[in-house]
């Protein structure tokens, strides 16, 4: 039988004869060549070899055992690499995805994320309904994202005296983000009181039912809260946001106090 290499496969009988007689069988050279390139015939040949009785001698070409050894070695070296790649690729994808989400969050997060929130709504309502001068010194807004502490640190500069008002008390709230604290400065004169709040620039300010309107009459960018019995002004500096609260009276002009504070408070 003549084998056409690469196209024609030997029949089962030829393979069994080759398995039994080895290189001494007919057409052994052609079979040897074919088995070196045909995986299916090679598998059939190996099965026939295994079926031979152990007492029977048969010759197995050396190139076959070399091929088997190389294939087993290749399988042993390739599988761990494949397994490693299967574990490594998802890990790399997860890392890239996590990095993308982190960058996206940094760019898209609100500018006030992590900043304290000062809610003046209930505070102003309480001041509106109070006739006690001491209420200004005792009441305080709701400050979220920061904790009141007994000790204070000088993180910004405010004047010790404005006209005939003296700084008599300072309260301080520290945020969890270790940024500049929220300060409450209490000023008193012989017959009057006002409060100045200082918060890190960009802190959230809430005024409840009261609206904010421009107040350009003080000479700088400023807003005024429409509160019937209190003069409330809000303005920014380079590093802080300020809120001024003063009960309306004829004893002192709030606009003059605010103008001076805007010039001196840093």
Q: Which domains does the chain have, with CATH numbers?
A: 12-60 (no CATH), 117-264 (3.40.1000)
**Is this prediction's pTM over 0.85?**
no
Exposed, middle or buried: residue 170 (CB in 10 Å: 0-12, 13-18, 19+)? middle
Which strands, in side-by-side order, build the sheet including 117-119? 142-144, 117-119, 204-206
Q: Distance (Å, rounded) from C-alpha 48 to C-alpha 20?
A: 8
- Helix/strand number for the chain, H first, E second: 7, 12
pLDDT under 70: residue ranges of the chain: 1-7, 23-26, 52-92, 99-100, 102-114, 133-136, 150-156, 176-178, 217-219, 250, 266
Q: Distance (Å, rounded) from C-alpha 98 to C-alpha 91?
A: 11
pLDDT given at position 16: 82
Tell me how many degrees the CA angle 106-120-240 measures, rounded to the nearest 5.
Answer: 50
Tell me how many degrees the CA angle 130-136-137 measures, rounded to the nearest 5.
Answer: 135
pLDDT given at position 110: 52
Dihedral sign for Cα 208, 214, 218, 219, please. Answer: positive
**Per-residue pLDDT reduced to its tens digit, 56-85:** 554 555 655 566 556 656 655 554 555 555
């Amino acid at each position: 039988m003549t084998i056409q290499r690469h196209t024609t496969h030997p029949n089962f009988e030829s393979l069994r004869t080759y398995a039994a007689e080895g290189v001494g069988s007919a057409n052994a050279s052609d079979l040897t060549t074919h088995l070196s390139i045909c995986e299916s015939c090679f598998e059939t040949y190996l099965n026939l070899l295994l079926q031979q009785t152990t007492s029977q001698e048969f010759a197995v070409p050396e190139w076959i055992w070399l091929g088997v050894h190389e294939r087993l070695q290749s399988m042993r070296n390739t599988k761990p690499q494949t397994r490693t790649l299967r574990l490594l690729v998802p890990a790399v994808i997860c890392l890239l995805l996590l990095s993308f989400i982190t960058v996206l969050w940094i760019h898209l997060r609100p500018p006030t994320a992590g900043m304290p929130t000062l809610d003046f709504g209930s505070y102003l309502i309480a001041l509106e309904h109070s006739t006690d001068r001491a209420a200004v010194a005792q009441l305080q807004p709701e400050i979220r994202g920061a904790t009141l502490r007994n000790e204070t640190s000088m993180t910004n500069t405010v004047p010790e005296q404005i006209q005939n008002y003296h700084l008599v008390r300072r309260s301080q709230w520290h945020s969890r983000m270790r940024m500049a604290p929220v300060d409450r400065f209490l000023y008193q004169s012989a017959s009057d009181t006002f409060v100045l709040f200082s918060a890190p620039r960009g802190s959230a300010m809430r005024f409840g039912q009261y609206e904010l309107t421009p107040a350009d009459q003080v000479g700088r960018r400023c807003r005024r809260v429409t509160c019937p019995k209190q003069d409330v002004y809000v303005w920014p500096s380079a590093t802080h946001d300020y809120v001024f609260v003063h009960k309306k009276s004829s004893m002192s002009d709030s606009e003059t106090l605010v103008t001076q504070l805007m010039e001196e408070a840093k």
